């Protein structure tokens, strides 16, 4: 008799790049931990199964977050257990058929949600006789109430702050675990030689390198920040990653820069770039923050999504891993201070390394494996 391999279904959606990359990181870790002893599958439940207009949310998300103030108002008004209960109760009749169709067409021995909208609706659709259901929270601190459902077998959170938030929503303490933010294995390998990395990337070896990232869609005042740094008189190299924002990339490439400047779109070289840089300047996305901490990069946060990413700023500052500088001149001031005071920057580097959780994806993989009986619970 052939034993069937356990199959794990990951529920995600491309509303922002973090949910897909978190799922991919866990899938990769499962392969590294268990080889072909387990099979996996990822489904974008909004794009592939949600009824109109909800199936258009991944497409319109980049436009929605271009007005951060409105996003913040919506986030705050919808956040809370009573609001979450009203939302799920009201919307479930509209999405019930789609949710049931998804779980019927993708049978699995375990479901893992890495999206706040992928928890309560599917737990309800699955009913009482269901496989284990795990929620992996991918927001660092100010986590929306929709992440938390008492029916989930486990809820895995990235920080102690997020765990406390779960407890505030009366989640069972023994079902909430702090595991860190899942990131791809290529971010977690040893740093290597910075000079060799810079040579392979074609960067100057002898300059202070500032790495600017605007997230997968190149959001926030990325261009204004880069211009201010370049015009500041600081002697450094600029590396700018615009993600999928081709228009911004073209605009930056058309500029005349005072300093050596390297402009990239969406790139798979980001892990090496982080290891080769001296400072990270980014919007407050949880994945980029986690990757920067692992690389030991002091972090300057220049933009955030209100509500959703407020706590990420709090986390970085409370850990002494970076600063909040929501103005190009404040970014320049911080850079100037860290260049002129290397001992201060070194202290921030040590704080980054202390706050980093490079084994998060492997930890999550082992927890999932234990739930499936592949290994003993630790």
Same domain, 330 and 305: yes
Asked whether residue 179 falls in the same domain as residue 271, the answer is no
The DSSP-derived string for 157-197 is ESSHHHHHHHHHTT--GGGEEE------GGGSS----HHHH
Q: What is the pLDDT of residue 325?
A: 97
41 and 63 together in one domain: yes
- Give the residue numbers spanning the domain of 155: 7-185+359-371
165 in a structural domain: yes
Residue at 131 is within a domain: yes
Produce one character per residue of 167-203: b if its CB has 16 or more CB atoms within 10 Å, e if not.
Answer: eebebeeebbebbbbbbbeebbeeeeeeeebbeebeb
Please give the pLDDT value at position 1.
Answer: 37
Number of H helices, E strands in the chain: 16, 12
Q: Same structural domain for residues 60 and 128? A: yes
CA distance 26 to 231: 41
Domains contained in the chain, number: 2
Check whether residue 167 and residue 205 sit in a common domain: no
Q: Is 90 exceeded by the pLDDT of residue 244?
A: no
Cα 314–317–320 angle (5° rounding)? 150
User: Sheet of 261-264: strands edge to edge?
Assistant: 261-264, 236-241, 208-213, 279-283, 299-303, 322-324
**Is 340 within a domain?**
yes
Residue 286 domain-assigned?
A: yes
Q: Are residues 173 and 51 in the same domain?
A: yes
Structural domain includes residue 97: yes
CA pair distance 144, 157, nearest whole angstrom: 12
CATH at residue 167: 3.40.50.2000
228 and 342 belong to one structural domain:
yes
Same domain membership, residue 30 and residue 61: yes
pLDDT in tens, 336-370: 999 999 999 999 999 999 999 999 999 999 999 99
pLDDT given at position 23: 98
Q: What is the pLDDT of residues 60-94, one digit of tens each?
A: 887 788 788 888 888 888 998 899 999 999 999 99
67 inside domain: yes
Q: List, in order, residues 6 or more apart from 216 with CB less than 8 Å away.
A: 16, 17, 243, 244, 266
CA distances to 112, 247, 316 from 141, in Å: 20, 32, 11
Same domain, 198 and 260: yes
* Residues 166 and 250 reside in one and the same domain: no
- Is 2 inside any structural domain? no
In this structure, is residue 376 part of a structural domain? no
Average pLDDT of every residue of the chain: 93
Compute the distance between CA of residue 362 and CA of residue 378 in angstroms, rounded to an integer.
13
Q: What is the pLDDT of residues 45-54, one digit of tens each?
A: 999 999 998 8
Task: Report pLDDT for 214.
Answer: 82
């Amino acid at each position: 008799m052939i034993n069937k391999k356990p199959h794990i279904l990951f529920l995600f959606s491309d509303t922002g790049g973090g949910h897909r990359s978190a799922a991919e990181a866990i899938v990769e870790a499962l392969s590294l931990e268990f080889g072909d002893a387990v099979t996996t599958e990822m489904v974008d439940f909004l794009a592939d199964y949600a009824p109109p207009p909800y199936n258009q949310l991944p497409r319109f998300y980049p436009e929605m977050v271009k007005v951060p103030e409105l996003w913040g108002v919506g986030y705050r008004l919808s956040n809370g257990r009573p609001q979450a209960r009203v939302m799920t109760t009201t919307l479930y009749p509209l999405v019930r058929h789609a949710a049931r169709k998804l779980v019927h067409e993708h049978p699995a021995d375990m479901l893992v949600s890495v999206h706040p909208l992928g928890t309560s609706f599917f737990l309800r659709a699955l009913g009482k006789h269901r496989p284990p259901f795990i929620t992996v929270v991918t927001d660092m601190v100010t986590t929306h109430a929709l992440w938390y459902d008492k029916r989930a077998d486990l809820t895995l959170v990235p920080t102690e702050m997020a765990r406390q938030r779960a407890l505030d929503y009366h989640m069972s303490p023994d079902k909430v675990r702090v595991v860190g933010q899942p990131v791809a294995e290529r971010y977690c390998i040893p740093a290597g030689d910075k000079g060799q990395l810079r040579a392979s990337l074609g960067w100057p070896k002898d300059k202070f390198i500032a790495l600017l990232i605007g997230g997968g869609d190149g959001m926030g005042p990325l261009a204004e920040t880069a211009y201010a740094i370049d015009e500041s008189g600081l002697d450094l190299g600029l590396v700018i990653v615009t993600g999928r924002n081709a228009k911004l990339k073209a605009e930056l490439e058309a500029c005349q820069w005072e300093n050596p400047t390297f402009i990239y779109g969406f790139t798979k070289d980001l892990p090496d770039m982080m290891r080769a840089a001296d400072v990270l300047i980014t919007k407050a996305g949880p994945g980029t923050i986690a990757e920067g901490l692992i690389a030991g990069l002091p972090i300057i946060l220049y933009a955030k999504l209100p509500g959703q990413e407020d706590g990420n700023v709090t986390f970085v500052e409370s850990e002494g891993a970076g600063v909040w500088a929501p103005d190009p001149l404040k970014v320049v001031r911080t850079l100037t201070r860290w260049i002129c005071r290397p001992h201060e920057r070194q202290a921030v580097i040590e704080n980054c390394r202390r706050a980093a959780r490079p084994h998060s994806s492997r930890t999550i993989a082992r927890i999932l494996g234990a739930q499936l009986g592949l290994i003993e619970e630790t």
